[in-house]
Amino acid sequence: MLQPWQTGKVVRIVDETGNTKRYWIEVPEMRSFDFEPGQFVTLDLPIHEKPARRQRSYSIASWPDGTNVFELVIVLLEGGAGTTWLFNEIKEGSELTFRGPLGKFTLPETIDRDLFFICTGTGIAPFRSMAHHILNHNIRHQNIYLIFGCRKLGDCLYGRELKELAEKMTSFQYIPTFSREVAENQNHLIRTGYVHSIYEEICRAGAAPDSLKPAYFYLCGWKNMIDEAKQRIQALGYDRKTIHQELYG
């Protein structure tokens, strides 16, 4: 059964990077907007007559905090009708029609093995939500590796915040890796290249000669990254059932 459409009011907008905005949306009809970290909402935008071409889904970037406000982080896609409309038309005070929360890209009931959160771009959103939720509720967990693929330093969404979270939460490692960072900006604390070499390195380092350390893999981002990650993770010896994905684009 589909959830009903609701009206949300945009109460705050912040430019996070040159082509990324953060939107805080209040749901006036609700005292508390409840959701599970990792879920998404679907927006109905006035950009086409056909419903299927009007709808755009975005992972919730905030975490459940008992309020009726949630956050989305949205990147402007070149030629994208939905994001172009949002960036040009939506101001603080604007209303948005949405449905949600939706989706099953959520944490396991018991976090009894290492978690690998692997993402690119705004695919960071559900993992920001999950990491804060685990810390806020003191949920028992193993090691958590957030491996975030960016092009350059300026693309690193929530970078300072996640670095501070890693300092508070010793079992949480925040590992941004940059594919196009120029050599003069490199130092031994900056990882360069692509996300795949990072999780392969960690998995191999932690594995016994004849066994793999148990892990769950959560993938969120563009299709090419997810397809390659699924192949590589299975090539390491992990079962397909340990991999969970949320596709963007």
Write down the pLDDT at residue 194: 79
Write down the pLDDT at residue 183: 47
For residue 106, the 8-state DSSP code is -
How much helix, strand and coil, in percent to the nearest 5, is found in the chain? 30, 35, 35
Q: Which domains are present in the chain?
A: 6-102 (2.40.30.10), 114-248 (3.40.50.80)
In this structure, are residues 44 and 51 in contact, taking their beta carbons and an 8 Å threshold?
yes
Which residue reads 């299709």 in tokens?
A: 223
Write down the pLDDT at residue 249: 55
In this structure, are residues 230 and 243 in contact, taking their beta carbons and an 8 Å threshold?
yes
Quote the CA–CA distance of 111 and 153 in Å, as a whole number.
31
Q: What is the pLDDT along the chain (249 residues), one digit of tens a residue?
A: 678 999 999 999 999 988 999 999 999 999 999 999 999 999 999 999 898 899 999 999 999 999 999 999 999 999 999 999 999 999 999 999 999 999 999 999 999 999 999 999 999 999 999 999 999 999 999 999 999 988 776 678 999 999 999 999 999 999 998 876 654 455 545 676 778 999 999 998 866 667 788 999 999 998 999 999 999 999 999 999 999 999 875
